[in-house]
Structure 1
Amino acid sequence: MDSLNRSGMAARRYRCRWWIERFTLDGRIGRKGYLMKITEIDVWTVVVPVFPEAVHSEEYGGYPDWARVPKQIIRMHTDEGITGIGETGRGQSTQVVAQAAKQLKGRDVMKMCLQNVFRSEPLKPGPESPEDWEIDPGPYPTGYEAFEMAVFDLIGKRLDVPVHTLLGGACRDKVRADFWIGHQTPEHTGRSTEIAVERGFTGLKTKCRIQEPMAERIRAVWEVGGSEFKMTVDPNERFYTVEQTLELADQIKELENVEVFEDPIPKKGLRDDVLAQYRYMRGELPFPLALHLGGASDVIKAIRADAVDYLNLGGSMVNFVKAAAIAQAAGIPVWHGSGNDLGIMERSYLHAAAVAPNCVLASDFVGSWTRIDDLITEGFTFEKGYTPVPQSPGLGCELDLDALEKYRVDK
């Protein structure tokens, strides 16, 4: 009996060891105490020009100032030989980004809190009651999105899954996308619309302000694309007043080609009086009204005020998915915004947009035709107003080192 018990215990120990090794990535955590450690992080600063004709007309400033603002590209190395890449937003300090990179050196990627990859310890319980518990995984350092991208890229490659799987799983295999233009004359706008139609887009987004010939510009789009070719009109708060916004809407409503007005008047930190103005405009406009928001708390504020029909959301991949989920619960469609970025960052947008069930409006993946180069070897493709969701491991793109070297400004 003792020998039978011993053999049974040995069999159970073998099965237990097999399952441990199976679910700890081939037992690697057991053999060396960690799974995949960051050994080095490269940081490069780049400035990639834009095609001038793709953005502004000469009458409205010509070459945009924002295109001269640097970005950082990062590449994480690991002891597994796997690398992950990321991209910051415009205008970050190279020194600050490099300092943030030092915080992650030596960290085990597979043990990170993916809601904030810089967090090194669990959230702490409160001393007395659940109300006192720590609930915010922040803070997030400068350039955080780049590090999040690189970490997710590493984990995706290590597990042989695309990043959208790590974010909750893609709800669709393609994401809607529109063409994009800057401040352009009506004639220039008409030519841009012809290009958009030729490339298979079904709508475009325009930057603008009330001082420009807005009615003529919107009509120029209608003359090429008709009422079915939709516009997102985004003045970045430069329609200034409710009265001017409603007056313009009345001038162009017969064209029926405006899908949404985005941020028509100053948001002023979403003060109650401003949200009341947005709520009033929402009731008066002949088409939907949107706000461009970054954080989940602002989304909640806008929803409670009944101030929006749609939302343009941004932020890190994880925080975009969180904010979109809040909007979904309120029945509000969203799209993913951008800052005329490069390929790595826009690829991260695509993964996040694919995860949100309510991301059904045309998202902004515009750097692929406004920038001279996107710095990745696998560019975006568009067909009939959609771009396919990547299915290869990680972000599904690799850094173009030759292009990177060409556009570096930190040599």
Structure 2
Amino acid sequence: MKIIRIDVHRVHVPMSTAPVDPTAAVKDGYVPTEDLHKHIIELHTDDGFAGLGETWKGTPDRAVRAAAEFLLGKDPTRMSLQYLELPHDSTAVNARDLGAMVAVRPVDHNPSIHAFEVALADLVGQAHGVPIHQLLGGSVRDRVLVHYWSGRLPPEALAHVAREGQQLGFGGIKIKCILEDPNVERVQAIYEACGPDFRISLDPNQRFRSMEDTLALAEALVDYPIEVFEDPLPKDDLRAYAELRRHLLIPLALHMERPDDVLQAIRLGAADVFNLRGTMSTVHRLGYMAEVADMTIWRGSGLDLGILDASYVHVCAATPSCTLGSDIIGQFMREDDLIVEPLTYESGHVLVPQGPGLGVVLDRDALSRYAVERGDSGMPGTWSVSG
């Protein structure tokens, strides 16, 4: 098997309006950045297979091109997907999106690695006739728990979104927030709309500022069904997290990607659970680290499209410690997922695809509808490398 052509499609799929409408958000509300593009990757081989990948939002064109030119002519069956290395252009990393909100230090890799790892694994799975979760050691579950999601909304609007999620079968919701939001009123509104068994996670993206403020809010919410506080404080001081955890009555979660950061957090006792992000192999390895520490995880996301979401389902299926509600929710949040058959959700779980590779098919009509004509620095929106 040899990669003979790589097609790259730059796309922009807007968010659905209801859950994240900025006109309904609290002033300065945190909503997903809608102008961030993605790339859909197709790796074509000399024996007729095509592997699909999807970049993280906002990945620069030059990072994708560097990786594509490097992989052209390579044999995916003779590469280590566990330790995939791609040419790295340090100027290509969006520090805010890839580092500051996720790990203690920025992640040092080509930001298109997520897409190419998935596409390579899709090829290998197809070649051997097995789903990707088999390449990760086999599945331990046939469905993955998922929770609903909302940006920062006023209490009444947020209660409507939470109720919508509950009616879709979800048993919990993750909400974005800052300290100045009416957080108690928002949680109370969800509680009244959805009842005591509907779980609520709060994610301020490190914007609660101080331990005292965090503890005061936690005390006010102690009688509500709060699942976790995720990243309440800046993550440059994990000892502060360890101290916070000693006093907090609500489980504390850290959103991380680097193995050394996860190891430090475990050693310091800085978290109860982890929200893990990164490549499939990274999340799989970190999930085993958490399991050894008798901790559980969920798989974070960027409210992505169907290709990345399918890859998340595979890694969650193959990771025993992934028992909390993951953020695999893109098809409910975006106008389209760009795959022919959407992932199947039942009773708040997403079913694990069983077809070879990713087990999904690219929707070319949708791809055309959401194609972007031009990319960075005048690059075309759709381009190929071959040889």
Task: Provide TM-score, normalisation by structure 1.
Answer: 0.83
Aligned-residue offset at 1:62: 7.2
In structure 2, the partner of 1:352 is: 315
The answer (yes or no) to whether the contact 1:52–1:62 under 8 Å persists in 2 is no
In structure 1, the partner of 2:14 is: 49
| Alpha-carbon separation, structure 1, partners of 2:161 and 2:317 | 27
| Alpha-carbon separation, structure 1, partners of 2:63 and 2:205 | 28
In structure 2, the partner of 1:280 is: 243
Aligned-residue offset at 1:113: 1.4
| Alpha-carbon separation, structure 1, partners of 2:74 and 2:19 | 42
Question: 1:6-405 alignment to 2 at 5 Å?
Answer: 36-56=1-21, 57-60=24-27, 64=31, 66-118=33-85, 140-255=109-224, 257-268=225-236, 274-405=237-368
Q: Which amino acid aligns with 1:37?
A: K
| Alpha-carbon separation, structure 2, partners of 1:287 and 1:381 | 32
Aligned-residue offset at 1:119: 6.8
Higher share in helix: 1
| Alpha-carbon separation, structure 2, partners of 1:294 and 1:139 | 11
Aligned-residue offset at 1:306: 0.7
In structure 1, the partner of 2:370 is: 407
| Alpha-carbon separation, structure 1, partners of 2:205 and 2:30 | 18
| Alpha-carbon separation, structure 2, partners of 1:294 and 1:118 | 16
Larger radius of gyration: 1
Q: Which amino acid aligns with 2:137?
A: G
Q: Relative to 1, partners in 2 of residues 1:105 and 1:262: Cα closer, same or farther, differing over 3 Å?
A: same
Q: Relative to 1, partners in 2 of residues 1:77 and 1:320: Cα closer, same or farther, differing over 3 Å?
A: same
Q: Which amino acid aligns with 2:122?
A: D
Aligned-residue offset at 1:60: 3.6
Task: Provide TM-score, normalisation by structure 2.
Answer: 0.88
The answer (yes or no) to whether the contact 1:178–1:202 under 8 Å persists in 2 is yes
| Alpha-carbon separation, structure 2, partners of 1:87 and 1:190 | 32
| Alpha-carbon separation, structure 2, partners of 1:302 and 1:405 | 44
| Of 383-392 and 148-157, the range deviating more from structure 2 | 383-392
Give 3-state SS (helix, strand or coil) of 2:63's partner: helix
Aligned-residue offset at 1:65: 5.8
Give 3-state SS (helix, strand or coil) of 2:68's partner: helix
Q: Which amino acid aligns with 1:289?
A: L
| Alpha-carbon separation, structure 2, partners of 1:329 and 1:342 | 32
Aligned-residue offset at 1:385: 1.5
Q: Relative to 1, partners in 2 of residues 1:283 and 1:370: Cα closer, same or farther, differing over 3 Å?
A: same
The answer (yes or no) to whether the contact 1:175–1:388 under 8 Å persists in 2 is yes
Q: Which amino acid aligns with 2:20?
A: V
Aligned-residue offset at 1:328: 0.7
Give 3-state SS (helix, strand or coil) of 1:43's partner: strand
Q: What are the Cα deviations for residues 304-352 of structure 1, in whole angstroms up to 9, with x where unaligned?
A: 1011100000100011101111111000100000011111111111111
Q: Relative to 1, partners in 2 of residues 1:224 and 1:114: Cα closer, same or farther, differing over 3 Å?
A: same
| Alpha-carbon separation, structure 2, partners of 1:51 and 1:139 | 32
Q: Relative to 1, partners in 2 of residues 1:117 and 1:279: Cα closer, same or farther, differing over 3 Å?
A: closer
Q: Relative to 1, partners in 2 of residues 1:277 and 1:142: Cα closer, same or farther, differing over 3 Å?
A: closer
Structure 2 unaligned spans of 5+: 88-106, 374-380, 382-387
Q: Which amino acid aligns with 2:39?
A: Q
Aligned-residue offset at 1:380: 2.1
Q: Which amino acid aligns with 1:348?
A: S
Q: Which amino acid aligns with 1:286?
A: L
Q: Which amino acid aligns with 1:262?
A: E
Aligned-residue offset at 1:61: 5.1
Q: Which has the higher contact order (CA 8 A, sep 6+)?
A: 2
Q: Relative to 1, partners in 2 of residues 1:279 and 1:363: Cα closer, same or farther, differing over 3 Å?
A: same
Q: What are the Cα deviations for residues 229-260 of structure 1, in whole angstroms up to 9, with x where unaligned?
A: 001110101111111111111111122x1011
Q: Percent identity?
A: 42
Give 3-state SS (helix, strand or coil) of 1:102's partner: helix
Aligned-residue offset at 1:59: 3.6
Equivalent residues, number: 353
| Alpha-carbon separation, structure 1, partners of 2:28 and 2:247 | 33
The answer (yes or no) to whether the contact 2:162–2:190 under 8 Å persists in 1 is yes
Aligned-residue offset at 1:52: 2.1
| Alpha-carbon separation, structure 2, partners of 1:119 and 1:310 | 30
